[in-house]
């Protein structure tokens, strides 16, 4: 969750409540990016030589030999969406990282074009309405609750929870053209575009990786800086934690794999 006018995170509100900067500017504070390097958008999209069956278990089946994984992958059809598309970081938008990540993943899976900022804002509020009616709240949705958005609201069928993922597990899912939604202890991400100390809970989408050890993400927690944002493998793996209240560093290690709708 992101940008300029500080909003104090209330611990009881939880989930993606960030101390944000301003409702007119993004989290682009001009800080030096310590956990990321400039991303080379020329990295080619990887295409499998044959159809790989969707993973149906919570522990991904290693159908692709590690030795055959490419050194880099980027799923170029994945589009960015900010959780505060109109630069309004007041509630509920400051808590919309799970909703925005769901939108990013679902529009990729459905082959749909992400709409204008106004359209994104409307879509996020539609997701909130679904959550309020079917989950009972929209704040701090767990990985399992977030799968309900993907399956019930968007009608997706290739949605898998992966427990205790490894770097290679994530790479193999990407090689099968699946995006990875990452629930995280947001303050462990060290993103300089988050106002210190950063969000207690945050969710983002991995869409690729580089040969130099970085995951390529769409991070909805800023107005613009989250597109193609890169995090070191170790940063992401350490930060993966499902919603666990005030004890985020002990939240379960789980991610969500989302494949294209057939």
What tens digit of pLDDT does each residue of 119-165 get? 999 999 999 999 999 999 999 999 999 999 999 999 999 999 999 99
pLDDT confidence of residue 15: 35
pLDDT confidence of residue 181: 99
Helix residue spans in the chain (DSSP H) = 97-110, 117-134, 143-148, 167-175, 233-239
Tokens found for residue 187:
């303050």
Tokens found for residue 201:
């809970």
What are the Cα distances from residue 89, in Å, to 1, 63, 127, 195, 221? 8, 42, 17, 12, 10
What domains are there in the chain, each with its CATH number? 66-258 (3.90.70.10)
pLDDT confidence of residue 56: 39
pLDDT confidence of residue 204: 98
Q: What is the largest CA-CA distance in the chain?
A: 50
Q: What is the mean pLDDT of the chain?
A: 83
**Angle at Cα 73 formed by Cα 235 and Cα 65, nearest 5°?**
95
C-alpha–C-alpha distance, residues 29 and 56, integer Å: 42
Per residue in 222-257, pLDDT (tens digit) is 999 999 999 999 999 999 999 999 999 999 999 999
Task: Identify the CA nearest to 125 among candidates 150, 145, 152, 103.
Answer: 103
């Amino acid at each position: 969750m992101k940008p300029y006018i500080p909003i104090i995170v209330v611990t009881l509100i939880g989930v993606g409540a960030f101390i944000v900067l301003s409702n007119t500017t993004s989290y682009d504070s001009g800080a030096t990016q310590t956990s990321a390097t400039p991303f080379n958008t020329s990295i080619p999209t990887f295409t499998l030589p044959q159809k790989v069956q969707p993973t149906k278990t919570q522990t991904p089946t290693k159908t692709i030999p590690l030795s055959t994984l490419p050194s880099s992958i980027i799923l170029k059809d994945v589009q960015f969406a900010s959780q505060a598309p109109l630069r309004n970081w007041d509630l509920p938008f400051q808590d919309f990282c799970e909703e925005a990540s769901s939108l990013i993943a679902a529009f990729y899976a459905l082959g749909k074009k992400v709409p204008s900022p106004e359209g994104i804002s409307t879509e996020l509020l539609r997701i909130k309405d679904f959550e309020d009616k079917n989950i009972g709240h929209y704040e701090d949705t767990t990985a399992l609750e977030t799968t309900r958005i993907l399956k019930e609201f968007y009608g997706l069928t290739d949605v898998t929870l992966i427990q205790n993922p490894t770097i290679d597990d994530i790479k193999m899912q990407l090689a099968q053209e699946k995006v990875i939604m990452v629930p995280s202890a947001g303050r462990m991400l060290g993103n300089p575009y988050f106002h210190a100390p950063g969000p207690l809970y945050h969710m983002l989408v991995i869409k690729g990786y580089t040969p130099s050890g970085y995951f390529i993400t769409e991070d909805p927690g800023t107005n613009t800086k989250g597109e193609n944002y890169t995090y070191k493998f170790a940063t992401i793996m350490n930060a993966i934690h499902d919603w666990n209240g005030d004890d985020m560093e002990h939240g379960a290690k789980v991610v969500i794999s989302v494949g294209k709708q057939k």
